[in-house]
Structure 1
Amino acid sequence: QQKKHGIVVELERVRLEKSQAEIARKISQGQLTAVLKKRLKEARIVGVVLATMSSVIAGLWWQADLQKRSAMQQSIKAESSETNLKISALTAASEALFASNKEFDALLESLRAWRKLQQSSSVEPETRMRVVTALQQAVFGVKELNRLEGHSEIVWGVSFSPDGQLIASGSRDHTIKIWRPDGTLLQTLNGHNGAVTSLSFSPDSKTLASASLDNTVQIWSRNPTKGGFITRPKVTLNAHEHWIYSVNISPNGRELATASKDGTIKLWNLDGKLIQTIGGHKDWVNWVSFSPDGKLLASASEDETVKIWQRDGILVATLNAHKGGVTSIDFSPDGQTIATAGRDRTVKLWLRKYNSQNDQVFVRQTTLKQVASVVWSLKFSPDGKYLASGGDDNIIHLWNSKNRTLVKTLKGHSDAIASLSFSSNNQLLASASYDKSIKIWSLYPPQLVTLLGHKDQVLNVSWSPDGKLIASSSRDKTIKLWQRNLSDYHQTSTRLYKTLTGHKDGVSSIAFSPTKKILASASYDRTIKLWDHNGKLLKTLLGHKDSIMSVAFSPNGKFFASASKDKTVKIWDLQGNLISTLIGHGDQVNHVRFSPDNQIIASASDDQTIKLWQMDGTFLDTLSPHKGWVLGLSFSPKDRLLASASWDNTVKLWSWDGKLLKTLLKGYSDSVNAVTFSPNGEIIAAAGWDSTVKLWSLDGKLIKTLNGHNAPVLSISFSPDGQTLASAGDDNKIILWNLDMKDLLRRGCSWVKNYLQHNYNIEKKERMLCEEILRDK
C-alpha cells in the first residue's frame, strides 16, 4: 500500500507541475481566463485527494504501530510472567531441598533464585518475597558449612589435625587426601594397596598414621615447607595377619595402637618397632582408643565386649557391652566416661569408678535409645560438651554429654556415616560417608534472633517509629522494651533494655505513638497506662468497665483508641481526656485500628463483625461475613484495603466501602489470631493458632509459612523498614524473622564462599554466583 501510494503521489505531483507551468505560460500571454480557474480547481482536488490518501495511510501506519505496541506489551508481559515463573521454580526447588534435609543445596538454589531476580526488570512483589523467605529459611537452617569431594569411593576415615590446619580423609579408593578446612585439596597420598580404614594425627600434627585393608599401617611425616605431608611414607608397619580396622596415636605422641580382624591389638612406637601384642578377644577387633592420660587402652570387638587394658597388656575390665558386636568406642576428654556403640543400634555410656580394693571398674550409666541404626562412629568433642554418633541411618546425632539429651541431628549425607572428627576449637565437625564425600558442619550455625525473658505468654509486640525499640507485653503483667543496634547489620545485638511493671493483670496490648515518644499499654486490669520511652509512667487512664483488649494510636498521633470486653471502643487524646465512646458491638471488642488517613476507625468483635466508624463516633458500616470471633485488623498503608483475622480459620480482605474482596483459606488449620500489612502494603502476614506465621500476596496466594514457634502465635508486627517481622507467642518468646535481602545475601554468600571457591565439582559460572555480594561486603 505504501508503494502504491508513493506512485500515485508522484504522478499527481507531475500533473500539478505541468498544470502550474501551463498556467504560468497562459498568464505570460495575458490569458487568465476559465483555464486558470479550471486548473486551480484541479489543484485543489488533487490536494484533497493527497490529504485523504495521506490520512488513510497514516491511519494504517498508526494501526500497525498500535498492534506492534500491543504485541510488544504482550511480549513484555509474557516475558515478565515467564521470569516470575522461573524464579518461583527456583525458590520451590530450594523449599523442596530444604524439606529433604538438603539445607546446603537449598541455600545454593535460593542464591540462584536471587541471581535470576537481580537479572530481571519486572518482578512481582510476591516473587521477591518468595526469594527472601527461601533465603531466610536456608540461611538460618543450614548447618553444613562445606563439603569435600574428590574421592572416587567410600570414605571410611576422617580426622582434623590438632592444630586445626588440615583435614585428612581415607577412602576405599586406596588414597589419603589432605585438605585445608576451607576445602582446598592440598595433596593426595598414594601408598596403600587396599582401602584406607582409619587415620590418626599425632598431638603436634606433624605425623599422620593410616590403617588399611592391605594389613599395613603407614606413618607419614609433615612437610615443613609445603604445609602437607611428604608423599612417601616414613614407616610401614607389617605385623598384622589380617585387615587393620583402627589406628590411634597415643596422647604423648610416642606410640600408636592398632586393631585388626586377626583379633589382636598391637602397640608400636612411631619408628615401627612392635612393643606389645595384646590378645584376649574371641573375634576381630573393630576399634582401639587411648585414654586421655595414655595409661589405658580400650578395645571394641565383634565378640560383643569392650576390654580395658593397661599399656603392658594387663586386662583391667571386660564390659559385656552390645549384642551383635561393638563397632566403636571413645573416651571423654576427662577420661571418666567411655562411650560405646554396637550393632544392636544403641549407644551406651560407662562411668569409670574405683571399688573398695581401689580397682578400676566401669559401670553402665546411660543407654541412648534414640539411635535407630547401627552406629559406626562415636566421638566426644574436645571440650567434652558433645558426643557425636553416626551410622547407617545417614544421620549424625549430637548429644549433650552431661545430661545425655539429644541436642540436634545433622542431616545431609545420602548414605551411611563411617567416621567423625571434631576440630580442636570445638566449632566444626567433619563426617565421612559411604556417599564418597566429607561434610564439614558448624556446631554453632546462625540462628534467628529470639527474645526470651517473659515468664508467660507474650500477648502483643510493637515497634517504635524509628525501629530502635521493640515493646512486648505479656500475661506475666510486664512490658519489656528491647533495644536494637541498627548499625549491627546482622541484627544480633538486640538486648533487653527495660522491664516496665505496674499493671495488676496481663498486658494485652501495646502501641507506640507515631509522633511522640509515648508508649500506651492496655491491660486486663481495665486500665491504660502511658509511658515514655525510658519506661517512666506518665499517666494511668480509667474508664472501661472490663478488660481492655487492644490499644492503637491514630497515624497523626493526636488520638488513641482502646477496645474492651465491655463491648465499647473509646477515643482519647494524648492528655488522657476521653473524647468519645463508640457503642454498637454486641460482644467484647478484640481489636481496634485507625485508617492511614485518620478518617476511619475499625473495630473487631466476638459478635463476628467488623464495624467502621468516623472519628467523631458516627457509625459507618458493619462488615459481617465471618463465622467466628474477629480477632485482628490491619489497614493497608497505601490502598483502601482492610484485612481481618478470625477464629473461623480465615483472613478476609475488604475495601473501605465494605466490599469483601478475598477470603484467604488455604493453609489454615486453626484460628487466625492477628493480621498485618507490610509497610509497603504488598504483603499480608497472619499469625495462627497452629503455631505458624503465614505470608500472603494481595491476590490471596500463600507465599511462605514460617515455622519456629512451639505454641500459638498471638501477635505479629513489621519493623518500620519492613526488613524484620516480629512474632510473639504462647511459648513465651518473640522471634525476629529476618526479611532483609542484603543481610541474607551477605550471610548466605559468606557461608558458601569456600565451597564455591574450592570444590572441584563447581562450574566456572557458578563460582561467580556470589562475587558481587562478597566484593561489596
Structure 2
Amino acid sequence: MKFSYRFSNLLGTVYRRGNLNFTRDGDSVVSPVGNRVTVFDLKNNKSETLPLAARYNVKCVGLSPDGRLAIVVDEGGGALLVSLVCRSVLHHFHFQGPVHSVNFSPDGRKFVVTKGNLAQMYHAPGRTREFNAFVLDKTYFGPYDETTCIDWTDDSRCFAVGSKDTSTWVFGAERWDNLIYYALGGHKDAIVACFFESGSLDLYTLSQDGALCVWQCDTPPEGLRLKPPRGWQADLLRRREEEAEEEEEEGEEETTIRGKAAPPAEELQGKVSYSRLAKHFFNKEGDFNSLTAAAFHKKTHLLVTGFASGIFHLHELPEFSLVHSLSISDQRIESVAINSTGDWVAFGCSGLGQLLVWEWQSESYVLKQQGHFNSMVALAYSPDGQYIVTGGDDGKVKVWNTGSGFCFITFTEHLSGVTGVTFTATGYVIVTSSMDGTVRAFDLHRYRNFRTFTSPRPTQFSCVAVDASGEIVAAGAQDSFEVFIWSMQTGRLLDVLSGHEGPISGLSFNPARSVLASASWDRTVRLWDMADSWRTTETLGLSSDALAVTFRPDGKELAVATLNAHITFWDPERAVQTGSVEGRHDLRAGRKELDKITAKQSAKGKAFTTLCYAADGQSILAGGMSRFVCIYHVREQMLLKRFEISRNLSLDAMEEFLSRRKMTEFGNLALIDQDAGEEDGVAVPLPGVKKGDMSSRHFKPEIRVTSLRFSPTGRCWAATTTEGLLIYSLDARLLFDPFELDAGVTPARVRAALRKRDLTGAILMAFRLNEKPLLHEALEAVPWAEIELVCSSLPEPYVEKALEFLAASLETSRHLEFYLIWAQKLLVLHGQRLKARAGALLPAVQFLQKGLQRHLDDVAKLCDWNRYSIRYALALSRQRGVKRAAEHGDAEDRDAEDGDAEDDLHLLGRGAPGSS
C-alpha cells in the first residue's frame, strides 16, 4: 500500500482540442485534455480528470441525455464507452477511421457518428448487459465531402448532417414514407453547425463564411409516416415477429441509405420539402474572422457563435437580433457549448489552451482558466501541501490549488522561460529563476513581485534554491558557471561562488544545516558552507556530468543524478559515496519518430534529469526524457515501482520499435505532413502541391518529465510532463492493509467491545483491521470527556496510526471540534516520545497541518464576515437610536450615539475584506 500511487488528477492543462459539453444538470463542463477527459464542477469549484486514457488525443466527446454515459473518440477512431457515474471504461470500440463528431439522440436509444463523407447510426447501449455495446443500424450516404456536424430533432425521428461540400442533409432515423433524405444548399462555404428548432423540422444552418440560413419545413414532425413493408420484407417481418414470440432477438440487420442528387418527380409528390425563409450574415471584420463554432439553445432560441478572431456573438432567433457581443480571446474559438438553462456559455481556445465559461446575463466569468502555453519545466509544493507552483517556458508562474485543481494566480513578470521555482519555509513566498537574468520573489498575501534579484552582468539562471530560514537565495548561472547568493531581506548580492568549470545544473540546501550543494556539468558537486564565509567544504567527484542534486529531508544524505543514468548517494558529512543505482534499463526512453534505430539501441535521453526524496527519506523518485517514472529504495538500491505516465501515441518518443509500414523507398512517411495547412480549416496549397501547404509544419511534442516533487504529507507526488501537471496519490479504497492482525480480531469483536465500553481495546482492534468505516465508528463512540484517558492508554506504535487517520478524517469530516480534541490530546500526551521519531512522523504531522490550515482559512474567513455583519447591524441599531433620541429631544444622547455610529461605520469601511 505504501507505493500504491494511482493517477489522481491532471492540472495545468484545461483544454487542448475537441468539443466541449455541459452535463445534464448544467453545473459541470466536460473538456477533452490530450488523451484524457476532465470534468470541471462549476458549482463546487473543483476539477477532476477521469482515470482513463485513449490511445491518441481525444477528438470528440458525446454525452447521453441522462448524463450517465459518454463516448470518447480519439484521433485514430478508437472509442471508449465511459460511465460517468462510476468513472470507469465499460467498452472499447474502433470505428475504423477518423471520426469528426458523435451525438446521442434525445431519447438516448441511438447515436450517430460522422466519418468521412458518411454518417453511421448505432444502437446506444442500454441498461442491460450486452456482448457488443455498439450495434450498427444504418449507414447514410449523401455528402460528397467530409461531414462536420450533427443535430437531432426533439422527438429523435430525424437528424441533420452538415458537410464541407456546403450542403446539409436531413435523414430519417426510421423508414419514413415521406422523408428518407433531403439535401439543402444555399451556402458558399463549409457547414460549421446545423440546428433544428424545438418541436419542429425547421432548420438553421451556419457556414464558415459567416452565413446563416433559416429553413422552413412544410410538414410537422407528427406528419411523418412509417413506410409499410412490402413483398419479401413483409414476409420477413412476419417471420421475425413469430420468432420473437418464442425467443428474444439477438441482433439487427444493417441497412444502407444512399441519397440521390435529383430524385424523380413522382417520388417528390407528398414528400417533405424545405424552403428558405431568410439568409443572414454576421458582421465580419475580414476574411480571417471566419465562423469556427456555434451552439443553439432551443428553449430560449439563443444562438452562440464563435469566430477565429476570438469574438463571440449572441443572437436571438429567428429574428436574428444581436443580444451580446464580446472579444474574450485573441485566439481562434475552437468549441462552443451552452448549458441546459441557457445561462452559461463555455468556450474552448486551442491556441492558448483556454477554457472560459461566461454568464451572459450578468456579463461575468464563471470560469477562466488557461494552462502554460509551452511545456512546464519546474514545480514545487508548498510546505503544507495545499498549493503547487509551476513555471513554464512561456515565462509564466502559476499557483494551483491541490484541492480544487484550479489556478488562482498567474505571475507574468518574467520575460523569458522559467527554469526553477521553490517555496520558502513559511509557504507564503515563491522564488523563481529565469533565463531573462532575474530571480524574483512573489508574495502570496498581496500577489505581487516584491523582490527582484539580478547579477552584476547579464547571465542566464538555470536553477534556484532557498535555505530553511528563508533568508538566503541562491541561483546557478548557465553561462558564467557561478553561483550567486542574495539576501531576501535587503535584496543585496552577498557573494558570488566560483569554482565550477561548467554550467550549473542543480542547487539544493541542506534542510538541517546551512550547507549548499551545487551540481555542474564539470562532473563535480561542491558543498558550500553558508555560515563560514561561503567557502567550499568538499568537492565530490563524479563519473559523468551532474544533472540533478537533492538532499534527504533530514539532511544526512545527498543524491546526484548523472548523464550516464546513474544515481549516486553520498554522505555529506564524510564526503564518501554510500551507494549507487543504475537506471539505464529502468528508464526505457522511447524511439523518436524520425529515428532509424530502435529505442534500445538509442543513447539519447537515457538519463534521469530530476530527483526527489520521499517524505520519510527511505525512497527516491526519479524521472527524465521518458514516459516512465521510477521509485527506488535507497538502502536496498532496488527498483520498487515504475509508473507509466502516458500512453498517448500522439506524442513523440512513445514507441520502442521501428514501424516497417512507415519506411518506404522514398524515405520515412513521418517526414510527410498530411495535415499541413489545414489547422484553421482552410488549405492554401502551393503551386504543384496537391494537398496542404508545404511551408506549414506540425510537430509532435516529445514525451518527457521535467520535474518531480513529493508532497510534504507523503500522500501524493506531482510531475510536470508534456501533457501537463500529473498528480498521483495513494488510493487505499480497495486495498486491505491490516496492521499486526490475528485471527481473533474481527469487526464483530470490535463492536462487542464498544458495547462493553472497552473503548481502548475497540480502538486498538480497529487499527489492526485498518478499515476506515470501522475506525470512524470506534473513535466517534468515545465521549469527548474520555478522550484524554483513551489517548493516554494508546501504545506508541498506534499513536502514529492515529495521527495519520485524524489527518485524513479532517479533510472530509464535519466533526471538526471532536477531531481537534483528539489531535490536541495525542500531541500533548505523547509529545516527548514522538520527538525521538520526528523524522518518521514528519509526513503525518504535515498532513495534519494541511487539514488544520485549510479549515483555519475557511473558518477565519467566515468569522470575519460574521464579525463585520454584526458590527454593521450594531451600527444600524445605534443610528435608529439616534433618530429616536432626536424625536424625544435628548441632545446629549443624540451626540453620543451619533459619534459611536460614525466610528463603527468608519471602522467597518476600513476593515472589511476586499475594501481599499
Same fold (TM over 0.5): no
The alignment's TM-score, normalised by the length of structure 2, stands at: 0.35
Larger Rg: 1
